[in-house]
Structure formats: structure tokens, C-alpha cells
Amino acid sequence: QKEVEQDPGPLSVPEGAIVSLNCTYSNSAFQYFMWYRQYSRKGPELLMYTYSSGNKEDGRFTAQVDKSSKYISLFIRDSQPSDSATYLCAMSPRNYGQNFVFGPGTRLSVLP
Amino acid sequence: DSGVTQTPKHLITATGQRVTLRCSPRSGDLSVYWYQQSLDQGLQFLIQYYNGEERAKGNILERFSAQQFPDLHSELNLSSLELGDSALYFCASSVDSGRAQGEQFFGPGTRLTVL
């Protein structure tokens, strides 16, 4: 079993839809959770950084962490074609000084 | 623009050769992380340097080495290159000190092709 699992997609949705992206993990020591967006052949761009369980909202993006289920989600409201990218989850047991473990990424296509 | 720069953008070389990839972190960031991303492996952590010292090692081959210089820029050296080393190599930087959050900011990457 991989340490972090993520459905690779591709996931195709119509413009304006609510998108739900998910990751599961096996290491209960993970406490810091991140979502990155990566456009084709570009560097990953940090979208959300959260600690422990709960929700965090930033514009159209909401990150949810459920540590009891070892499950994290990223919701994108009013999705746009410009949201078409690969979304990577990442997690770490510490705030810093520790390498992050990345999921394999989910490819999202938002169709106009 | 994340503020992290990487050179070169593209590198094409032959098997058995040696190359050096360069990374300049964001101003004020003390940590540099190196990652390899290939189609079948995803984003794999290679090594981390903090303020000039090696801090953590991941899945880095013995043929690969890195260092961080006093001005905090870092170089990743790849030697005895094999076809399977063809990948995108990313550098990320982070403050990693004080009360800062440990967000890592990624550079644009170097695409290495080994023929």
C-alpha cells in the first residue's frame, strides 16, 4: 500500500461545477496537509496549507482534513477552464524540516 | 512566479555523462529541496539542504549528489546518466525557521533528457 493514494483521473467536469478531489493516507503521524496545482510541464503551485483536522477556505477553494479517517479533500467551487491541471496532495508529520510525501496527482479537465 | 529559479530549463545529454542542475531559492528561504518527477513515479523527494547542511535524504541514487552554497543556491549533480534518469527535476525552497509555516515553493523545473 502506498503511503498516499490519489485517484489519477482524468476527471472531466463542465464549467461552473463543484469539483471534489481526494487523497487517503496510511501514516497517522501526518499533521500538515497541502494541495498543489501543477499545469503541464510547470512547477507545482501551492494552493492550500492546513494543519490537523478541519476546514480551510480560500476564495473558490476549500480544503478539508479528516484525520480520523485519514482522508483529505479539496473542493473547487464554480470551476473554470483555467482550473484544468493536475492536483497533487502532499503531507508531512512536521511543519518543516521534513520531506513531504506527495500523492501521484489527479488530472482535472474543466470543459467550457 | 514563485521566486525560485532553476537553470537550465532543458538539458539533453547522452548516457554515461554528468550534468549539473542549479537552483536559487526565494529570498530569505534557508531550505532547498530537490525532487524528481517522472511519468510513472510521480513527484519523488531526493534531498534537502538547510543553510548549507544536508538535512534529509529521500530516494536519491548514489550517482546523484547535491550541495548548498553559502549564498544558499544549490546544485544537483547527476553522473553516469542512464536512460531512466530522464525526468523533470524540481527545486523547492522554504523558510523552515521560526514560526513560519513550512510551505515549499517550487521552481519551474529542469527537463532532463538522456539519449
Note the pLDDT tens digit of each residue in B62-99.
Answer: 999 999 999 999 999 999 999 999 999 999 998 876 66
Q: Is B94 on the interface with A (CB under 8 A)?
A: yes
What residues of chain B, 51 to 90, have a C-beta less than 8 Å from chain A?
55-56, 58, 88, 90
Strand-pair category, B10-13 with B110-114: parallel
- Cβ atoms B6, B108 nearer than 8 A: yes
Give the residue-averaged pLDDT of B10-18: 97
CA distance A66 to A69: 6
Residue to mutate among B2, B39, B59, B101, with most A CBs inside 10 A, is B101
Q: How does pLDDT run across B25-62, given as a tens digit for each residue?
A: 999 999 999 999 987 778 899 999 999 999 888 889 99
Q: Is A96 on the interface with B (CB under 8 A)?
A: yes
Closest residue in chain A to residue B98, using alpha carbons only = A96
- B41 Cα to chain A: minimum distance (Å): 8
Q: How does pLDDT run across A2-38, given as a tens digit for each residue?
A: 789 998 889 999 999 999 999 999 999 898 899 999 9
Residue A94's SS3 state is coil
> CB B111 to CB A41 under 8 A?
yes
Q: Is B2 on the interface with A (CB under 8 A)?
A: yes
Q: Is A46 on the interface with B (CB under 8 A)?
A: yes
Instruction: Give the count of beta carbons closer than 10 Å to the beta carbon of residue B111.
Output: 16
- Pick from B102, B77, B11: nearest CA to A32: B102
What is the Cα A1 distance to its own chain's centre? 19
E-only strand ranges, B51-100: 53-57, 64-68, 74-78, 87-94
- What pLDDT shows up at residue B90? 97
- B1 Cα to chain A: minimum distance (Å): 9
Burial of A70 (0-12, 13-18, 19+ CB in 10 A): middle
Report in angstroms the alpha-carbon separations of B109 from A13, A92, A111, B34, B79: 29, 22, 28, 10, 18
pLDDT interval class at B20 (50, 70, 90): very high
